[in-house]
Amino acid sequence: MSTTVPTDDSSPASSLSVADRERILAAVDRAFDAQVKFLSDLVRCVSLRGQEAEVQALVEAALLERGYDVGRQLLDPSLIGKHPAFSPATVSYENFWNVIGIREPPTTHGRSLILNAHVDIVPTGDPKRWRYPPFEPTQDGEWLYGRGAGDMKAGLSAVIFALDAINAAGLELTAPVQIHSVVEEEITGNGAAMALASGKGADAVLIPEPTDEKLVRANSGVIKFEVSIDGTPAHPREVSGGVSALDAAMRLIELLRQLETRWNEERATKPFFDNVDNPAALTIGTINGGEWIASVPSSCRFEGRIGFYPGDDPHERVKEFEAFVATAAANDPMLKRCPPPIVEWVGVVHAGYTLAPGSDAEAVLTEAHADANAPDASPLQSYVMACYLDAAVYSVHGKIPSLVYGPVAENIHAIDERVSLPSLRRVTKAIALFAASWCGVRPAETAIGLTPAGLQSGLSD
């Protein structure tokens, strides 16, 4: 699948000189105010599902300004069900597109790299509950508030400005680098799937999701479902003759907790998951039902997700879920009075992945993390994320070492989402050092993109 040069395994450790490293770190510091401004511009874009065009245009312009070879990549719905990286979708992809920025060196020495970030965000809930309006990014002390500030527009700013810093330090990478600004991560993963299916491979992928400056060792496989239940409508005077679809849905959700428990009990035999509190994490995200305030409701629909383990076939888990629902409907006294529930798959149906310890990519990131932090800071730690990550697309289907490492953020998918700006600065430095060490650098023959002075003054002042 990869269209890049073979991996050069000869130098897993950093080849950066002390002087190069210090110049890169200083360049991140000089441009950090401009980076926060750019991040704020990204947060102002209301990039909910299907509304990502504005933010993608902003990313496209930023990459073009820096001299990348930039293209818009439309999502191809004909690949769903054909290429294994894709998951089911329930919307038209007519106006869904990735932005792919590529920089090829004149002569390649070293290892190629993809830096991936998603621009789609989840809804805010009631904006009146937020401390600050969710799409008016607000800096309060060391935090920047706003929907998507942490998940994961901060990470997108980090990859762009990390590469800027290498250039501002008077260096250029000696291996190809790609920036993948993708859509659909929050629901199907089909943006990353489209990038991979189009042949966009590399020797490593780094995705700066908000991970509290830790490395993700493994993530859960995930399947996202919709369940529809019909009851028997009735007037309040004949309520005993009806069956509430809402009550039936709540009963089925209660029973699905048994499946969650069953899948969680498997963790003792799964590498890296034995101490994860709730790897299955059944979540019911939406529920809608009923037709009239004074009628026994005739229909209800709920949507949710449930997780499983790396190495499991997601389609086998789909079958297990469907069988559980069918058995519950046939045996439960209330559900037996309803037509069989209908299960549909409306988002991610994807395997999890494991990052095996000891890879060259992890070694280089470990060193970069250390160099970006104070001498007394903790070494790079790893942990498990019991959720979907686009890294699984590149790892499972592209066999590409996939690192997920990003800044401290709080309240992602919640009220008052915010990202730590000091953490973002450190992560940007670590990504810059990682890219320089992984790809290799040499003195820049010609200036590419923004000059150091331009970086200090901002993107579009």
Residue boundaries of the structural domains of the chain: 18-219+353-457, 221-350
In whole angstroms, give the CA distance from residue 211 to residue 386. Answer: 12
Query: Which two three-digit tokens encode residue 334?
Result: 């209330």
> Residue 297 is which amino acid?
P
pLDDT value at residue 271: 94
Give 413-445 as a DSSP string: TSTT-EEEHHHHHHHHHHHHHHHHHHH-EEE-S
User: How do beta strands 418-420 and 215-219 pair?
Assistant: unpaired
> What kind of fold does domain 221-350 have according to CATH?
Alpha-Beta Plaits (3.30.70)
In whole angstroms, give the CA distance from residue 357 to residue 380. Answer: 12
Query: Which two three-digit tokens encode residue 126?
Result: 């009631």
pLDDT value at residue 447: 47
Burial grade of 298 (CB within 10 A; 0-12, 13-18, 19 or more): buried
pLDDT value at residue 90: 94
In whole angstroms, give the CA distance from residue 441 to residue 377. Answer: 27
Query: Which two three-digit tokens encode residue 217?
Result: 């060792």
In whole angstroms, give the CA distance from residue 47 to residue 152. Answer: 12
pLDDT in tens, the chain (461 residues): 333 333 333 344 447 999 999 999 999 999 999 999 999 999 999 999 999 999 999 999 999 999 999 999 999 999 999 999 999 999 999 999 999 999 999 888 889 999 999 999 999 999 999 999 999 999 999 999 999 999 999 999 999 999 999 999 999 999 999 999 999 999 999 999 999 999 999 999 999 999 999 999 999 999 999 999 999 988 998 888 889 999 999 999 999 999 999 999 999 999 999 999 999 999 999 999 999 999 999 999 999 999 999 999 999 999 999 999 999 999 999 999 999 999 999 999 999 999 999 999 999 999 999 999 999 999 999 999 999 999 999 999 999 999 999 999 999 999 999 999 999 999 999 999 999 999 999 999 754 544 433 443 333 33
List the CATH code of the domain at 18-219+353-457. 3.40.630.10
253: left (phi over 0), alpha (psi -120 to 50) or beta: alpha
Contact 145, 137 (CB under 8 A): yes
**Using alpha carbons only, what angle is made at residue 367 by residues 363 and 373, rounded to the nearest 5 degrees?**
145
* Cα-based distances in Å from 217 to 266, 273, 314: 18, 10, 19
Residue closest to 440 by CA, chosen among 364, 357, 359: 364
Q: At what angle do helices 154-168 and 18-30 cross, to 10 degrees?
A: 130
Buried b (16+ CB within 10 A) or exposed e, 264-274: beebeebebbe
Cβ atoms within 10 Å of 228's Cβ, excluding its own = 17
Phi (first) and psi of residue 157, to 5 degrees: -60, -35
What are 251-258's contacts with CB under 8 Å, separation 24+?
A: 251/332, 251/334, 251/335, 252/227, 252/325, 252/328, 252/329, 252/332, 252/335, 252/341, 253/284, 253/302, 255/324, 255/328, 255/332, 256/282, 256/306, 256/324, 256/325, 256/328, 257/282
Contact 448, 163 (CB under 8 A): no
SS3 state of residue 77: helix
pLDDT value at residue 446: 58
Query: Which two three-digit tokens encode residue 189?
Result: 């993963």
Sign of CA pseudo-dihedral 15, 18, 19, 22: positive
SS3 state of residue 123: coil
Stated pTM of the model: 0.92
Query: Which two three-digit tokens encode residue 267?
Result: 């963790």
